[in-house]
Structure 1
């Protein structure tokens, strides 16, 4: 990178990257998993799946809140030579790095349907919903601070990483107009031309 600039990825985009595949693979696995009776029957499987969904949402959305808050508070302003990674590139890197884990999780969710129908799929979709909630909380933090949060790409591991993992020492910040993702990591909506 020229003149000491760093490649930066949006924190909320990295968090949100796994939400859609986990949600939709979970929904597909729950739908297919509701077909067999299983060992326990459909009703017990769906009730157990609903409980697992709530646990998965909490287990994904709540951890590391203090770490994210501390890193956000200490965020330094991004330099003019830093390179802001596009949202699509960040999402693609995360999904490419985790594709085998996603396929294994989907296969496990489908296989578990023979014991507890739909439960594995609901658990998987709970992880996706938890990531959406975590990204939404980051979006509220970004709006409150009127700054977008970024993390150095080289501090993320090779699979697209954890934006608040051990290698991450600090976040960087930019104004809310920077990059192509809105606060919270969603695709930025462009106003229609009149």
Structure 2
């Protein structure tokens, strides 16, 4: 579950940073100083809103976690990330273009807002990771529920979560890549 949340964090962050850096060049309608200050405020607000959004739904799904069954289809981390990014690439490009376009009105603000949204997703994934560690289980969303419209890891199509042990799969709690110890 945290893998799906975390899948959009890196692209949003990097698109936001790139848009903010490029957006620093034009003077804009408001000037750079106001653009930077507005962008900093939007970064903080965007990160907070994204990190706290739908937290009650996530908590309700976590409370109702069921053990993964033999016939539940669960994907590897890399496949989940690749599928999410491929399915949302046009939205990501549109958001990056909008952040760049907004630089002509308020320099850097749109890019910093986008980077703040990426930071909020990373914070939400970290929160889910702490829940996974407390429960000592990895939380999974069935693949067929993720593919439906109105999706996302806490969308209407998701009826419940599946749980496995923390050693299952290739993701660590919080959706990060599992680190393997070097063989000596």
Shorter-chain-normalised TM-score: which range? over 0.9
User: What residue is the counterpart of 1:74 in the other structure?
Assistant: 64
Q: How many residues align?
A: 184
Instruction: Return the alpha-carbon distance in structure 1 between the equivalents of residues 132 and 123 of structure 2.
Output: 14
Displacement of 1:160 in angstroms is: 10
Deviations 1:99-123 (A, max 9, x none): 0000011011001001100000000
Give the CA RMSD over aligned residues: 1.3
User: What residue is the counterpart of 2:44 in the other structure?
Assistant: 54
With over 3 angstroms needed to count, the CA separation of the structure-2 counterparts of 1:18 and 1:50, relative to structure 1, is same
Deviations 1:138-160 (A, max 9, x none): 00000000000011111113589
Structure 1 residue runs of 4 or more that deviate by more than 4 Å after TM superposition:
none
Instruction: Return the alpha-carbon distance in structure 2 between the equivalents of residues 160 and 149 of structure 1.
Output: 20
User: What residue is the counterpart of 2:176 in the other structure?
Assistant: 186
Unpaired runs of 5+ residues, structure 1, are 1-10
Deviations 1:125-149 (A, max 9, x none): 0010000000000000000000000
- TM-score using structure 1 length: 0.92
2:143 to 133, 136, 153: 153
Instruction: Return the alpha-carbon distance in structure 2 between the equivalents of residues 85 and 160 of structure 1.
Output: 20
Q: How does 1:68-107 map to 2 (within 5 A)?
A: 68-107=58-97
Match of 1:66, SS state, is helix
